Amino acid sequence: MDKVLIKQLLFHGSWLVFPAIAWLLWHWRGGQHRWLLALLLIACTLFAWARFIEPQIIQVNQTVLRDTGTSARIALISDIHLGVYKNRQFLERLVDRINTLPVDAVVIAGDLTYEPEGSDLQDLFAPLARLQAPAYAVLGNHDQQKPGPDVDQALRHALHALGVKVIEGQIITDAQGRQWAGLGDRWAGKDDPGFLRAAGALKGPAIVIAHNPDSAMQLRPSEAAIVLAGHTHGGQIRIPWLYRKVIPTQYDFDRGEQFARTPDGPVRVFTTRGVGEIGLPLRLLNPPTIDVLQLQP
């Protein structure tokens, strides 16, 4: 069976949890096997929360990061994953929430899509055109090769038309003199930082955007004031201990501020938990989050 069809069946079939809850409530009050029915009722209610409520919450998390060598207020999001589970209406809400925040820039750290088959990407991502702050992005593994589908060029074209700057392999300087750099997806083999090492390329450490936080392991402290990343989803379904088994990194990244212990010294990394879902259309103890980062010198 087609993998997209399986995900759609899972996504829409999950509504059956509500008649299951009603059936359990009816029989629980009947008095037989109440402890077993109560356990099943708790499990179904938890599933309903993780499927229908928590993935629609948009949380704002404020973090002050001192001693970065630069000053900026950034809204960091990642892993939007529009397609089989998330739709344009969710992105409308996300953009509306970002526009209420006093930020200098919006960073989108990859994985914008998830099985967007048959979608007009410019129409799907049209709400991004309403962002009131400059937006910088890189693509992720779900936008490129592994696991794909590869919508790389079509997505770049759509984002450009919507005013979002995809800065992979580039260094740009904004109106305030801040340097931004973008690394491509690690799984697609596009995160080579060699362009940062060209003579005169950097005037000092840049704000580096990467999809996979593992990419920070290739950087030097002199190149990155901070690396802003996504990819991990913070485990997505954050059951203690178990969630660590599904985070797709080699170097023990999770969410929030950490340091990449590179041969040249520590490189500061901030990994956002993302706003979308893959695999199962569930989030638990880990709601979609906009990280507002206050960088201080």
Span 114-161, pLDDT tens digits: 999 888 999 999 999 999 999 999 999 999 877 768 899 999 999 999
> Within the chain, what is the greatest distance between any pair of CA atoms?
78
CATH number for the region 58-295 comes to 3.60.21
Distance CA 200, CA 185 (A): 25
Q: What is the pLDDT of residues 189-236, one digit of tens each?
A: 999 999 999 978 999 999 999 999 999 999 999 999 999 999 999 999
By the 8 A CB rule, do 150 and 156 touch? no
d(CA 148, CA 152): 9
| CB-CB contact of 103 with 75 (8 Å) | yes
Which helix (DSSP H) or strand (DSSP E) does residue 106 occupy? strand 105-109
> What is the pTM (predicted TM-score) of this model?
0.96
Q: Where are the domains of the chain?
A: 3-54, 58-295
